[in-house]
Amino acid sequence: MKLTIYVSFILVTIIGGVLMCTASSAQDLNAIKQQMEKRRSLIVELKNKGIAGEDKMGYLQFIGGKREKEDVVKAENQDRRKVYEAIAQKEGVTPEQVGQRRALQITNQARHGDWLQDQNGKWYQK
């Protein structure tokens, strides 16, 4: 009887911990999404100026030698990495695979004039 209660307690504790981690993870992703939304106009500005483009791995990169708002690009890439890791864990793939899939989506949604990197690493303007 005591063993059954003990095992039940352990299972409830583990399940509760998993649920709390999942809820915490969802809250973290929501916070990341909000941060990314706040940066969106700055990123669009960098892209419109031809300063930043989207690489083949789903991250922002500087094009050429001109760099502006490096902190914005760095923060965006860090947040993208966190999102890719969360999706990868959920889908049982690598963050790199998620990033590459996202890069294809970005390429398809890119505006005329955006800088993109092809699968061979060559930069081109859409």
**Which residues on adjacent β-strands are paired with residue 61?**
53
DSSP state letters, 37-89: HHHHHHHHHHHHTTSEEE-TTS-EEE-SS----HHHHHHHHHHHHHHHHHHHH
Q: How far apart (Å, rounded) are the C-alpha atoms in residues 60 and 9?
A: 47
- So what's the pLDDT on residue 1? 52
Domain count, the chain: 1
The model's pTM: 0.77
Residue 93, domain extent: 2-125
User: Is 13 within 8 Å of 63 (Cβ atoms)?
Assistant: no
What's the pLDDT tens digit per position in 34-86?
999 999 999 999 999 999 999 999 999 999 888 999 999 999 999 999 999 99
pLDDT of residue 29: 84
Note the pLDDT of residue 21: 44
